[in-house]
Chain A
Amino acid sequence: MTDSVYEISHLTLVPRRHIGRIVGAVAVVGILASIVYSFAVGQIEWSYVAEFLTVPVILRGLGNTIVMAVCAMLLGLALGVVFAVMRLSDNPVLKHTAVAYVWFFRAVPALLQLLLWFNLALIFPTIGFPGLFSVRTVDVMTPFVAALLGLGIQQGAFTAEVVRAGLQAVDKGQYEAAQSIGMPRLQMLRRIIMPQAMRVIVPPVGNEFIGMVKLTSLASVIQFTEILHSAQNIYYANSRVIELLIVAASWYLVVVTALSLIQIRIEKFYAKGVRPVGGEA
């Protein structure tokens, strides 16, 4: 008699209804559709967007943006590694110099730093080595150089902290094992410690690189002809402000998407020998 109560395999299963999900999905689709519709019927001449997407001035600006982002990031990475290693040094002078560097260049806004470098001639009319050579600062401090120094040096301060986190994430036993096969300090960092630290370093550095691509737009204020500056130059002439901003935005999307794909590749490379989370040996 009781058996029939506990026997449930012949009953039909009615799935639970997700009312909240349906309501949410309808609302989101509605909002998205209205945004797309308003852009489609708004005061935007899409033909201008298509026309200006590939004009030489924009492409040159795009090229400058990429070159500046890569150069400033390389400078930032080099400075970051050097100052992170200094920060972990036993030498108090090196250590505190690194602390001060990070403190200063992380605190002062990037835009302000760009203006400082660009106007360096106001403090030092000439730079050089007394008696050997000397050049006028305005000749050296071109928009490119000022932007490279301003962006690269402040990036170094952020990267130094990322690299330090990576170096500290490597197990102490790895340092000892490398030392006990007779490796000197620099070789140990290069061959054993850095490759392992990279796993921790790459995701935030990828993040910072994407930030750098967009930060180069600040350099338009010191007359560096990156892509936003080029777009502005065109719309000053033809007044197609929104169309040209859309052109610039499209290119930023393309560059950042490409960088994200490269980052995934690099992360895979440094994941060598790491067991995937939850995976079996």
Chain B
Amino acid sequence: MTNEALHLHAVGAEPLVVAADVRKRFGSVEVLKGISLQVAKGEVLSIIGPSGSGKSTFLRCINQLERLDGGAIFVGGELIGYRRVGDKLHELVDAEIARQRRSIGMVFQRFNLFPHLTVTENITEGPVQVLRERPGEARDHAHALLERVGLGEKRDAYPSELSGGQQQRVAIARALAMRPKLILFDEPTSALDPELVGEVLTVMRDLAASGMTMIVVTHELGFARDVCQRVAFMDRGQIVEIGEPRHVLGQPTQKRTQEFISMVRT
């Protein structure tokens, strides 16, 4: 057994996310050229790679913000975007797509908090409007989540009154409020001033320690090394190398990985 397989066995054999030969093109440019990988329940996987390598596009495919041109993605054993009836695949209607998205949280590079709602309302919007939770319970849960991300005193503030790091922590709380099986992070610290990166990474570390399944597109190699069970290096729409951080980041076997890591390190 390889090291990677041993590790997957340790975190639990059951895969939560399965991507099989995922392909995506924008016009004539093929941005994903057959991505296949599995993420185990409770695993934290980071995807690194140069800009334009397709990392964010792959993440957005999992949440159906982009449509696949080929291949398939399964989350929790359920095929994303289609329903299989016999040997036919039926495209899902809007309501079904919305239902599939509920169990997948997403944290964006630019936070995307709702500016017309307070911090608490940002967090309760999904639970109350989509999951039909009672407003009082949703609010209590939101306040508990705000305490967890260290923003208990900001519950009535508007997003415009917060720093970038605080906004991103609220965005993580908003994703958590939907009680997702999986959270996708799309370069969560890339839009932050350097001194604010740490507070967001701390929250993500706690989340990882609590057993949440996470896929993190990031340039923070330190986070990838310390927190993630596996790291995938993507370049030009393909996964070049995937495995434990100490192998991929420490002793990469592929030349492109070596070049990228030495460039980011300097």
Q: Evaluate contact between A273 and B102: CB separation under 8 angstroms.
A: no
| A179 pairs with B115, CB closer than 8 A | no
Q: Which residue of chain B is the closest to A281 with respect to CB atoms?
A: B161
Question: What residues of chain B lie closer than 8 Å to A196, measured between beta carbons?
Answer: 114-116
- Does B112 lie within 8 Å of A274, measured CB to CB? no
Closest to A180 in B: B106
Inter-subunit contact B160/A177 (CB<8 Å): no
Q: Does A174 contact B (CB under 8 A)?
A: yes
Partner-B contacts on A (CB < 8 A): 171, 173-174, 176-185, 187, 191-192, 195-196, 270, 272-275, 281
Interface-central residue, A180, A192, A275, by most chain B CB under 10 Å: A180
Which residue in B63, B104, B129 is a CB contact (below 8 Å) of A183?
A: B129
CA A178 to CA B131, docked complex, whole Å: 13
Instruction: Give 23 A-B contacts (CB < 8 Å), ordered by A residue.
Output: A171-B112, A176-B65, A176-B108, A179-B64, A179-B98, A181-B130, A181-B178, A182-B98, A182-B101, A182-B131, A184-B94, A185-B94, A191-B125, A192-B114, A195-B116, A196-B115, A196-B116, A272-B116, A273-B160, A274-B115, A275-B160, A281-B161, A281-B163
Question: Which of chain B's residues have a CB closer than 8 A to the CB of A185?
Answer: 94
Name A's interface SS: helix
Residues of A contacting B161 in the complex (Cβ-Cβ under 8 angstroms): 275, 281
The verdict on A180 contacting B105 (CB below 8 Å), with A185-B94, A191-B125, A196-B115 known, is yes
The residue in chain A whose Cβ has the minimal distance to the Cβ of B63 is A180
State how many angstroms separate the Cβ of B258 from the closest Cβ of chain A.
35
Of the four ranges (under 10, 10 to 19, 20 to 34, 35 or more), the interface on chain B belongs to 35 or more
Task: Type the 1/0 row for B91-135, where 1 means its CB is closer than 8 Å to any CB of A.
Answer: 000110011011011101010111111100000011001110000
Chain A residues lying within 8 Å of B94, measured Cβ to Cβ, are: 184-185
- Known pairs A195-B116, A273-B159, A275-B160; A182 contacts B108 (CB<8 A): no
B158 interface residue, CB < 8 Å from A?
A: yes
Q: CA of A176 to CA of B126 in the docked complex: distance in angstroms?
A: 13
Closest approach, in angstroms, between the C-beta of A186 and any C-beta of chain B?
9
Contact B110 A191 (CB under 8 A): no
In angstroms, how far is the closest chain A Cβ from the Cβ of B225?
28
Contacts of A177 in B (CB 8 A): 106, 108, 112-114
Let me know if B129 and A187 touch, CB within 8 A. Answer: yes
Chain A residues whose C-beta falls within 8 Å of the C-beta of B64 in the assembled complex: 179
Residues of B near A272 (CB, < 8 A) are: 116, 158
